[in-house]
């Protein structure tokens, strides 16, 4: 079993839809939770970052962490064609070696 | 954009040949990482470095070696390329103990035929 599970999709939605992307994990020691966005043939870029549990909002994007369920989510409101990309969740522990563990990535397509 | 340059950007090589990929950074960052990205697997860590001449293995290190003789350069070598090493390779700087964010290069698309 992978430490981080993420449905690879693809997910196709119409412009303006609310998108929900999710990851589950097995390591209860994870404290930092991130979402990276990766456009085709580019490197990933950090989109959202949350420490421990709770919600974080940035414009149209909301990240949620539920440590009791070992479940994280990224919501995109009013999705735009420019949001079409692969979204990768990533996590790491707070101590020791700083390794990031990535999910497989979910490919999202927002069509006009 | 963080100053990370990967070279080459594309390479086709034959099975059994050695290949070296280069990552160059201008951020003076202590931590550097090499990942490979394959469909269904996301990014998997190959090797990382926490300083000049200080390197360690990641989860998929078999068949790969690394070297870091200068802060700005981190080299990944495939000693004898195999078809299973066909992948997209990404270099990253960070995270470190103070900062969670990793900054990635543009990637190197390697095909082993």
Reply yes or no on whether the pLDDT at B94 is more than 90.
no
Give the pairing type, strands A106-111 and A11-14. Answer: parallel
- The C-alpha torsion from B8 through B13 and B15 to B16, rounded to 10°, is -60
What is the distance between the alpha carbons of residues A19 and A12, in angstroms, rounded to a whole number? 9
B9 touches chain A (CB under 8 A): no
* Mean pLDDT, rounded, of chain B: 94
Task: State the smallest CA–CA distance between residue A84 and chain B in angstroms.
Answer: 17
- Which of these, B78, B93, B67, B65, lies nearest to B11 by C-alpha position? B78
Instruction: Name, in order, each residue with C-beta under 8 angstroms of B30's C-beta and a sequence gap of 6 or more.
Output: B50, B51, B71, B96
Residue to test with chain A: of B21, B100, B107, most A Cβ within 10 A? B100
Per-residue pLDDT reduced to its tens digit, A6-48: 988 899 999 999 999 999 999 998 999 999 999 999 999 999 9
What is the distance between the alpha carbons of residues A11 and B110, in angstroms, rounded to a whole number? 27
Taking a contact as any Cβ pair under 8 Å apart, which residues of chain B between 60 and 89 contact chain A?
Answer: none
Q: Look-up: residue for tokens 């997209």?
A: B88
Taking a contact as any Cβ pair under 8 Å apart, which residues of chain A between 18 and 57 contact chain B?
Answer: 32, 34, 41-46, 49, 51
Q: Which has the minimum average pLDDT: A97-106, B5-14, B21-30, B77-86?
A: A97-106
CB pairs under 8 A between A and B: 54
Q: Which has the minimum average pLDDT: A43-52, B4-13, B62-71?
A: A43-52
Q: What is the mean pLDDT of the segment spanning A87-111?
A: 88
Which pLDDT value is given to residue A97? 63
Looking at the DSSP bridge assignments, the partners of residue A101 are A91
């Amino acid at each position: 079993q992978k430490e981080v599970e993420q449905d690879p999709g693809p997910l196709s939605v119409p412009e303006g839809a609310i998108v929900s992307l999710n990851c589950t994990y097995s390591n209860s020691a994870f404290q930092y939770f991130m979402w990276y966005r990766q456009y085709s043939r580019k490197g990933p870029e950090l989109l959202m970052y949350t420490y421990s549990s709770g919600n974080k909002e940035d414009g149209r994007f909301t990240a949620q962490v539920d440590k009791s369920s070992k479940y994280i989510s990224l919501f995109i409101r009013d999705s735009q064609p420019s949001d079409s990309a692969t979204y990768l969740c990533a996590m790491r522990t707070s101590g020791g070696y700083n390794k990031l563990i990535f999910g497989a990535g979910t490919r999202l397509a927002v069509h006009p | 954009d963080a100053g990370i340059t990967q070279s080459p950007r594309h390479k086709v090589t034959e099975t059994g040949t050695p290949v070296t990929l280069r990552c160059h950074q201008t951020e003076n960052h202590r931590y550097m990482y090499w990942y490979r990205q394959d469909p269904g697997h996301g990014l998997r860590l190959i090797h990382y470095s926490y300083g000049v001449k200080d390197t360690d293995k990641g989860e998929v290190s078999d068949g790969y070696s690394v070297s870091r003789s200068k802060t700005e350069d981190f080299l990944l070598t495939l000693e004898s390329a195999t078809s299973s090493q066909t992948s997209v390779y990404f270099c990253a700087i960070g995270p470190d103990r103070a900062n969670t964010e990793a900054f990635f290069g543009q990637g190197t698309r390697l095909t082993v035929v």
